Amino acid sequence: MFFLGSMLNVNAENNSLIQNIQGRNATTLNGKWNYIIDPYETGYYDYRYKPYDESPNPPNGAFYLDKKQKDKTELIEYSFDKSPSLWVPGDWNSQDNKLLYYEGTIWYRRLFDYKKTSNNRVFVHFGAANYESDIYLNGKKLGKHIGGFTPFNYEITDLLNAEGNSLVVKVDNKRKREAVPTLNTDWWNYGGITRDVTLVEVSNTFIQDYLVQLKKGTENEITGYIQLNGTAPQQSVKIAIPELKIVSDVKTDSTGKASFTFKPRNLVRWAPRSPKLYEVELSCNEQKITDRIGFRTIETRGTDILLNGKSIFLRGICIHAENALRGGRAYSDQDAQMLLNSAKELNCNYVRLAHYPHSENMIRLADEMGILVWEEDPVYWTIQWENPATLSNALQQLTDVITRDKNRASVIIWSMANETPVSEARTNFLKKLAAHARELDNSRLISAALEIHGNPANPNERIVEDPFADYVDIVNFNEYVGWYDGLPEKCDNISWNIKYNKPVMISEFGADALQGMHGDNLTRFTEEYQEDLYVRTVKMLSKIPQFRGVTPWILYDFRSPRRFLPNIQDGWNRKGLISQNGIKKKAFLVLKNFYDQMELKYQK
């Protein structure tokens, strides 16, 4: 784990992340949780404004104690039992109209019984909670987690009762200047426990983490490691990939780690047209973990992107983790199916999951469907570049998403940031992120969504020049010629000045259109305006010699409190190719036709 500055004490409470919860002995805590809205954080502070957690004898008003009246004389000014409920996973904004714009603290409480196997250990795992979470079991604090889109877990073995456990979670989604992302974003700040909550039972010494993938620079050499957690770190661990006839025992060292290498025959590599996945089995102490893992290579050579050694054009689309049909945070398998099926209808072989880590089921479904993935650390716009705690937060979130998804064949790009204005402090910040990502995983590509600028001497020239571009594998940039920069016809005259001998991709372009609003192609917010911009933009971008992929902004309309225009935006960003009602706009077909052409071109 990587920690810096004042964030050290916060994140040190979090147990090291357990990988592949789905492949373990797990019990869901999803369902209805009682909740209390607490904008003044009354349940956390006493009258001297001192956190209860720091007091050896917290007052009865501390919500995390989940106190009940012993008799009618006892003063307790809250009751989870009498409070309403919210579904977990899920955001609070879309479940109750009065919470639509709410930013602050809500306390969740879930009661449960659990009888564990003797000598086993139990952890509680959260897929994500936005943004800052304090976790308590039976009145004892497990820890604090900061970051709205990454998983975390805590051991609860010694606090667990066979009956009547009370799990209380304080979730605070207030935006903060020092946070990642910071105060200003262009998406809805959904609060709550937004992903699965799970109890995971493991043996006293168990497989906590593992890596199984093709070795960089090889075509058939599987390499990786296994990391144990427990009091007996030196163990024999069995690795099996039955279809490849691989069965091997490895011995872990005094730190609980063992590395391995295999050279199987007849390995079928994973690719979008044939997303081959192998059953991988890891066994230790009579416990077995199963996973479905694909093997592929990804690299760049000059201006080409090579998947399994062959040049590929990435036909993509940007996606937010939102189900537009119900206007809430996307979290379920059904949400992932809806979003990725729509991308497939566009003939996409690639998606940019913006602007933060999406749910694990989204990544696993991409593995199954053969869709390549860009994953992004939520370093968005302008944050506190010189704040060590902010850097620590960004590094921790990057660590967690790489830990979670490093075995997913679909993931080919770790993105460090989106639209960050150039400065020396910002570039140093991003360089540290990139170096950390390469240290954790050197097999994937590094990129970021960069900005462009104009040439005062030539109003039709756009320049891609960013010191961080020297540290990425693919030069990605956002451009909005024809929407924020002139009218669509301006695309016809734009020239590009890109000095890098690297693949170039456009991470965003687009225009707003209200589905069903029609007019000529110069009337803003009409489908015809958006359609014309797409027609002209793909022609403009195709003139870039290094052009190797694109992810237009965006697949579906999505909620944004920055978008106020009555009867058109009404709190929605309308740049989607599909409306919040699921209806395709005219530009959808323009992009699909372009992708059909590019698929044929790269098959030759």
Whether residue 197 is found in the same domain as residue 48? yes
Nearest Cα to Cα of residue 324 among 88, 535, 111, 574: 574
Give the C-alpha separation, 160 to 48, whole Å.
32
For 598, the enclosing helix (H) or strand (E) is helix 586-603
Instruction: Confirm whether 463 is domain-assigned.
Output: yes
**Cα–Cα distance measured from residue 173 to residue 192, given in angstroms and rounded to the nearest whole number:** 7
290 assigned to some structural domain: no
Indicate whether 328 and 407 sit together in one domain: yes
Give the per-residue pLDDT at 522. Answer: 97
Claim to verify: residue 138 and residue 222 sit in the same structural domain: no
For the record, the structure tokens of 25 come out as: 């002995």
Find the CATH number of the domain harbouring 28: 2.60.120.260
The tally of CA atoms less than 13 A away on the side-chain side of residue 439 is 11
Q: State how far the Cα of 232 lies from the Cα of 204, in Å rounded to an integer.
A: 8
Residue type at 216 in one-letter notation = K
Last residue of a domain, one of 239, 254, 285: 285
pLDDT in tens, 291-346: 999 999 999 999 999 999 999 999 999 999 999 999 899 999 999 999 999 999 99
293 lies in a domain?
no
Compute the Cα dihedral for 587, 588, 590, 595 and give only its sign: positive
Q: How many domains does the chain have?
A: 3
Token look-up 């989607």 returns 576
Average the pLDDT over 29-47 and give the result: 91
Task: Express each pLDDT in 236-287 by its tens digit.
Answer: 999 999 999 999 999 999 999 999 999 999 999 999 999 999 999 999 988 8
Q: Cβ distance 384 to 177 under 8 Å?
A: yes
- The CATH code of the domain that includes 458 is 3.20.20.80
440 neighbors 469 (Cβ within 8 angstroms): no
Q: Answer for the pair 278, 243: CB distance below 8 angstroms, yes or no.
A: yes
Given this model, what pLDDT does residue 52 score? 73
Question: Does the pLDDT at position 170 exceed 60?
Answer: yes
Residue 263 lies inside a defined structural domain of this protein: yes
pLDDT of residue 9: 32
Least confident of 30-34, 214-218, 246-250, 545-549: 214-218
| Domain end among 230, 255, 285 | 285
Per-residue pLDDT of 517-528, as tens digits, reads 999 999 999 999
Are 361 and 457 in a shared domain? yes
Position 294 in a domain: no
First to last CA, the chain: 45
Q: What is the CATH number of the domain that holds 211?
A: 2.60.40.10
Q: From the CB of residue 437, how many other CB atoms can be counted at a distance below 10 Å?
A: 22
Residue 526 lies in a domain: yes
- Spell out the residues 6+ positions from residue 517 whose beta carbon is closer than 8 angstroms to its own: 525, 526, 527, 568
Q: Is residue 217 domain-shared with residue 308, that is, in the same domain? A: no
Which among 238, 255, 285 is the end of a domain? Answer: 285
- The reported pTM is 0.95
Residue 367 has pLDDT above 80, yes or no: yes
Cα-trace Rg, the chain: 25
* Domain annotation covers residue 339: yes
Instruction: Indicate if 222 and 174 belong to the same structural domain.
Output: no
* In 384-485, alpha helices (H): 388-405, 424-440
pLDDT exceeds cutoff 90 at 46: no
pLDDT of residue 117: 87
- Average pLDDT taken over every residue of the chain: 94
* Confidence class for position 600, pLDDT limits 50, 70, 90: very high
Residue 267 near residue 244, CB atoms below 8 Å: yes
Both 503 and 595 in a single domain?
Answer: yes
Confidence of residue 3 (pLDDT cuts 50, 70, 90): very low
Structure confidence by residue, pLDDT tens digits, 462-485: 999 999 999 999 999 999 999 999
568 has pLDDT over 60 = yes
State yes or no: pLDDT of 13 exceeds 80.
Answer: no
Instruction: Identify whether residues 406 and 536 lie together within a single domain.
Output: yes
Provide, rounded to the nearest whole percent, the portion of the chain with pLDDT above 90. Answer: 92
One domain for residues 275 and 309: no
420 and 467 belong to one structural domain: yes
Domain assignment present for residue 234? The answer is yes
User: With 90 as the cut, is the pLDDT of residue 386 above it?
Assistant: yes
Q: Which domain holds residue 262?
A: 206-285
* 129 lies in the same domain as 47: yes
Shared domain for 459 and 382, answered yes or no, is: yes
Q: What is the pLDDT of residues 530-564, one digit of tens each?
A: 999 999 999 999 999 999 999 999 999 999 999 99
